[in-house]
Structure 1
Amino acid sequence: MIEGLSHITLVVTDLDRTARLFSDIFEAEEVYDSGEKKHSLFKEKFFLIAGVWVAIMESEDIKNETYHHVAFKISNSEYEIYKKKLEAYDIRMRESRPRIEGEGRSLYFYDYDNNLFELHTGKLEERLDSYNKV
């Protein structure tokens, strides 16, 4: 039986640069830094983001942008705060997809290595309810 989410791993080209982004935007707590050691495939750092274990590994082998993404929940009242924080970084924001009323708002952004993140104000129950109304 699946017990829940174990972790998320992303490949990045610069561990320290991504760590700064994670710390500021996600309020990530860095819990591990391999330094120059490679216990896994690459040098890595581990974070806790809202209780979720997120690992980043350093490699030059990065692919193109996709819509594969990781979404984190934010409150609707903090939407503009996060939008301003993101605009201060040298990263690309992605336009939000068309929305149905009631499903929440989203901020999409690519990190430095084409990993797509979403900061979303809605909940699953709200989205299902809004979909059922149309």
Structure 2
Amino acid sequence: MAFPGLQHVAVTVSDLERSTRWYAALFDAEPVLDEDEEGGRFHHTVFALDGGQLFGLHTHQGRESGDAFDEERTGLDHVGFAVGSVEDLRQWESRLDELGIAHGGVKSAGYGHGLSFRDPDNIALELFAGA
């Protein structure tokens, strides 16, 4: 049996309103869901992305640590989004510039090309085109 692909990613944010505005601008879309989880342990705001994947923003009713994201701590290193080509990355580079989002420019390696940037909580994000 093949292992299934990713269906969604959810990240914990420190300020849901700020992050929702930021991701809505980045995705050029509004959330499809914004509600408290059934058990009341967290609130989630969810965006639908191309390909059927979901991207969620979570708050945990004030129980968040308040620590800034750090990819060197055990856990998430970064979230990568697939794009088709280096040309697509160049278009995204311009879009990030338009949005005022700092980034590291398009970087190339033998396995592909990436464009890295961070969200308001310093969560590492990458747009990636395979080689």
Q: TM-score, normalised by structure 2?
A: 0.70
Q: Distance in 1 between matches of 2:25 and 2:68?
A: 25
Q: Distance in 2 between matches of 1:85 and 1:117?
A: 15
> 2:114 is matched with which residue?
106
> 1:81 is matched with which residue?
91
Q: CA deviation at 1:28?
A: 4.5
The 5 A counterparts of 1:1-134 are 2-34=3-35, 37=36, 39=38, 40-50=40-50, 51-58=52-59, 59=64, 61-66=66-71, 68-75=77-84, 76-89=86-99, 91-94=101-104, 99-100=109-110, 103-122=111-130, 126=131
Choose between structure 1 and 2: higher strand proportion: 2
What's the % identity of the aligned pairs? 26
Cα root mean square deviation, aligned:
2.7
CA deviation string 1:50-83 (max 9, x = no partner): 2212211134634432161111112322222211
Could you tell me whether the CA contact under 8 Å between 1:12 and 1:60 is conserved in 2?
no
Q: CA deviation at 1:114?
A: 1.8
Instruction: Name the SS of the counterpart of 2:19 in structure 1.
Output: helix
Paired residues in the alignment total 119
Q: Distance in 2 between matches of 1:74 and 1:60?
A: 33
Could you tell me whether the CA contact under 8 Å between 2:107 and 2:113 is conserved in 1?
no
Structure 2 unaligned regions, length at least 5: none
Q: CA deviation at 1:29?
A: 4.9
